């Protein structure tokens, strides 16, 4: 079904050497979003560059990590920690955005408290890429991740169906 997507990039393929793996993930991210960014509706998809962490752009961390609660000295804090499922799919966001709306990718807009987003998802809603729409219609990569829970997939499907009924031209 999703055999058109690039193969997964697994940590085991790098003999569990995290630094080599992270370096490879970053090189793929750079190729897909800095050197040759995808174009959506004729516009290049831009990335948030600041704040840099470990010399890498914020957008990279949104594709490879997720917020998790961590307890430190009795205090619970949110921290971005590596998510292997996101890492393995580092090449998917660029491929999905380049595919555009088709029988392999569904696309819709959604209003959020922080602004307007354009969402690209696989038709079964098992993976999504979100772009923030900013002034002048500029598109910025917001995040991308596998959707593991059926309840979340169902919510995405309902958003898409509502968009088709009420907003799609």
Q: What is the pLDDT confidence band of residue 76, given thresholds at 50, 70 and 90?
A: confident
pLDDT at residue 40, rounded to an integer: 96
| Spatial distance between the Cα atoms of 41 and 38, rounded to a whole number of angstroms | 10
Domain range annotation of the chain: 11-166
Mean pLDDT of 153-158: 96
Mean pLDDT of 73-77: 80
| Spatial distance between the Cα atoms of 9 and 21, rounded to a whole number of angstroms | 9
Residues 6 or more apart in contact with residue 18 via CB below 8 angstroms: 11
Would you list the DSSP string of 127-165?
Answer: EEEEEEE-GGG-EEEEEEEE---HHHHHHHHHHHHHHHH
**b/e per residue, 97-135, with b = 16+ CB within 10 A?**
bebeeeeebbbbeeeeeeeebbbbbbeebbbbbbbbeee
Q: What is the pTM of this model?
A: 0.91
Chain segment 34-65, per-residue pLDDT in tens: 999 999 999 999 998 777 778 899 999 999 99
């Amino acid at each position: 079904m999703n055999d058109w997507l690039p193969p997964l990039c697994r940590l085991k393929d790098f003999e569990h050497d995290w630094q080599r793996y992270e370096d490879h993930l970053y090189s793929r991210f750079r190729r897909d979003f800095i050197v040759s960014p995808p174009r959506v509706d004729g516009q290049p998809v831009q990335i948030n560059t600041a704040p840099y962490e470990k010399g890498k752009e914020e957008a990279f961390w949104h594709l490879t990590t997720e917020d998790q609660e961590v307890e430190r000295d009795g205090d619970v804090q949110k921290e971005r920690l590596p998510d292997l499922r996101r890492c393995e799919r580092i090449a998917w966001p660029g491929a999905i955005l380049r595919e555009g709306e088709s029988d392999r990718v569904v696309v819709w807009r959604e209003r959020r408290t922080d602004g307007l987003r354009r969402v690209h998802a696989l038709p079964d809603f098992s993976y999504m890429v979100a772009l923030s729409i900013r002034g002048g219609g500029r598109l910025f990569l917001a995040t991308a991740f596998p959707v593991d829970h059926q309840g979340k997939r169902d919510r995405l499907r309902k958003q898409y169906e509502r968009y088709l009924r009420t907003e799609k031209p």
